[in-house]
Structure 1
Amino acid sequence: MHIEIAGAGLAGLTAAAAFAKAGASVRVHEKGSELREIGAGIYLWENGLRALESVGAYDEVAGRAEKVEVPFLRDHDGRTLQEEWLRNHRLYTVGRRHLHQSLVNAARRNGAELITDSPVVKASPSGTLTLADGTENRADLVIGADGVFSKVRDSLGLRKKLVDLRDGGGRHLIPRTGDDPVNQTIEQWNGGRRIGIIPCSPDETYIFLCCPANDHEGRNQQPFHPASWIESFPEFRSQLERIPANTEGRWAPFHDVHVDKWYNGRAAIVGDAAHAMSPNLGQAACVAMTNAVALAIAVTNSSNPEFALKSWESAQREMSDGVQQYSRIYGKIGTAWPKDLLNVRSALVKKFTGSRRVQATINFAAESFPSGEIRPVRPDVDRLAQELLA
């Protein structure tokens, strides 16, 4: 079985590591000149951690991750609204670059080929990935993991709509000091602005600064001037003043991607290409990695390619759409609430998120992971490959 993948982000690399683990021939095309991620942090909930375990990347990731014992959510007056998100499950934070490199290492260790300077322009339902130079690469399965503005998805006619949520954020890394929380994360709201203080390695703290699109002063994060954000969050002056003026981070808009299907013929889409969402629940990457592992499980456990892709989407779609929806609602409450009713927002958020039932409803994805295992692919008897190539 041969797999061609467009995009060497977290979803593409997880898919590559999963299929390569099964013994498939895997080639990943990255349009950039190097394999890299932005300098920021990321939440890894139980489902994301299980995905990493499935592809052999967990130990390396966990080696530089921060175990979170209490994730705080606070309001404009510093009052705690929530501190019990899924305390019965694992939650880690880690630097995105370390996570990305760990997946690169796992994919290569499992046998995947990763190619840079290899932009993909389109894919076909017949299982062909076409590069910018006109090269056509045939495969038993083509995977589009090429992001929000996926050319693979659009060339397959799968996009329904792409929505600018009029919300966004900047991601910044700062040197970690004794002023920063330990085994805790803090998210605080003030009006339409949100700040996150997240230790993500032994020597780094990740800060996110989110605000609506019409907050022009808040959006102006490159170069970074801390005064406006210190005015909104004076208790985090220490962290805000550690963000360098020439920070790599910048405000970027959040998008929702809606598609008709996740596949067309021998081509499938994963990650942001299929279900981009705002990162408000810390689940966007976890869902992407989970779905990539689920795809490998479905394909390597079936002799019928059409059934495999159909059952994969059927099993994972409801979960993914639900996370996208709840993340969108979370963002609207956090950014679009009337300023003269902030105390009402605090009371409502505290009441509803204090319910274990509501917590489980919002964070259900963390408990969702595909059943089954990635099966070894044996070329001599692989009926799936034979059917796909027929």
Structure 2
Amino acid sequence: MGKTAVVVGGGIGGLAAAIGLRRIGWEVTVVERASVLDDVGAGISLAANGLRALDELGVGTAVREASRGQYSGGTRTPEGGWLARMDGAALEKAVGTPIMGIPRATLHRLLRESLPAETLLIGSEAGPVRQIQPGTVRVDCGGKALDADLVVAADGVGSKVRHRLFPSHPGPVYSGSTVLRAITEHTVELDTDFELTWGHGAEFGHIAFPDGRAEWHAVLTLSAGTRFADPLAELRHRFREWHDPIPALLDATHTGAVLHHDVNELRTPLPTYTVGRIALLGDAAHAMTPNLGQGACQALEDAVTLAAALAAEPTTEAGLARYDAERRPRSQAVAHAARQAGRMGHQLSHPLPVALRNTAMRLTPSRAALRMILRHHNWAPPQLN
């Protein structure tokens, strides 16, 4: 009889974990509280480490075909001057691929299509997770008990499973930034594949997609819970003097398409990613700020590493210990680096630090900038087959 797992959460990390576990022969049920399994979001950038993880899961080719490579662009000032240029060709030469931009919903669909429909239990709220006997964990789910050899908690930054496992942990905290984002309704004439623009306490960026549309995001340094009656009107006002194509991106967006979320993170690292036969994965384990574009990539790394560790070790307990030992140091280091990047990026508001940062970026040699990127992107996944 094969081993069984319940994955709590049907986002990118949860679906990837389910695919990885099935590839090593486990039976998997994914429990997702949403009634429609279609990840809400705008766009996402996938670096080499995330793409390599997707390759091991068997969906890398399909994801690449639905993505657009980020070969051109970089970081700019609100007036349009360049702080740093992106060299996607150099990155591709170094790691075998440029960063790829894809609508988040498309990535989610491709992951869903890699799983049998009966694997997905949607519209069900996962209740408490309990160890009912040695080697068996139970998830209470809508009046039904699901027993398994393993539970994977992939239930996001506000993870209820994590809270029950670590009741004294402070949990997620507000990063100081809130983000508004959307995908344009129609194509937009863009000269670059990807851009970030850093102003004083604000950031605006875009990712171009294969069909000519684009995702844009605006990051603002505001109090938690701040919301706007008309988000697009607010952004048009705030970014009215910023360079093209920012006005065009906002004009190509329907008001109802704008998503607005405060950015929360696990600033206090967890002491372990596993408790008994429960494993934390993705944002439930290491929710980070989006400043390095590594949130989804780290969740994908988690999924492949978990499956490989369970396949390689003689017992589930040994596999989980290996997963924790391999994933916790790296993912927590990336989370720390993302936080630091935010502090040196859009969160700077005083003119003197902004000027010093801009000068440093302009003077940084392209090779040095590439080495900094490779620290996070150049990850080799364990093999599942």
Alignment correspondent of 2:359? 347
- The alignment covers a number of residue pairs equal to 369
Contact 1:153 1:159 in 2 (8 A): no
Q: Distance in 1 between matches of 2:243 and 2:203?
A: 13
Please show how residues 10-89 of structure 1 align to structure 2 within 5 Å. Answer: 10-84=12-86, 86-87=91-92, 88-89=94-95
Residue in structure 2 matching 1:241, options 251, 256, 260: 251
**Pairing of 1:291-302 with structure 2 (within 5 A):** 291-302=302-313
- 8 A Cα contact 1:326 1:362, kept in partner: no
- Answering whether residue 181 of structure 2 is matched by residue 165 of structure 1, we say no
1:185 pairs, out of 179, 194, 212, with 194
Structure 2 CA distance, aligned partners of 1:55 and 1:221?
42
Aligned amino acid, residue 254 of structure 1: N
Q: 1:114 aligns with which of 116, 120, 134?
A: 120
Q: 1:215 to 1:143 in 2, by over 3 A?
A: closer
Question: Structure 2 matches for 1:286-365, cutoff 5 A?
Answer: 286-341=297-352, 342-352=354-364, 354=365, 356-357=367-368, 359-365=370-376
How high is the TM-score relative to the length of structure 2?
0.88
2:285 matched to 1:283? no
Paired position in structure 2 for 1:381: none
Which one-letter code corresponds to 1:256 in the other structure?
Answer: L
| Separation in structure 2 between the aligned mates of residue 155 and residue 215 of structure 1, nearest angstrom | 25
Cα deviation 1:109-130 (Å, max 9, x = unaligned) = xx87001111112223554243
CA distance 1:200–1:160, change in 2 (3 Å): farther
- Counterpart pick for 1:261 among 260, 266, 272: 272
The 3 A distance-change label for structure 1 pair 51 and 35 is same
5 Å matches for 1:116-265? 116-125=122-131, 127-157=136-166, 160-161=169-170, 162-182=172-192, 184-214=193-223, 220=228, 223-225=231-233, 226-235=235-244, 236-256=246-266, 258-265=269-276
RMSD: 2.3
Give yes or no for the alignment of 1:97 onto 2:109: no
Instruction: Tell me which moved more, 140-149 or 250-259.
Output: 250-259
Mean alpha-carbon deviation: is it higher for 145-154 or for 334-343? 334-343
CA distance in 2, matches of 1:230, 1:275: 32
* Worse-superposed segment, 41-50 or 117-126: 117-126
> Structure 1 length as normaliser, TM-score?
0.87
Moved more, 117-126 or 164-173: 117-126
3-state SS of 2:330 partner:
helix
Could you tell me which runs of 5 or more consecutive residues in structure 1 were left unpaired when the two chains were aligned. 376-390
Unmatched 5+ residue regions in structure 2? none
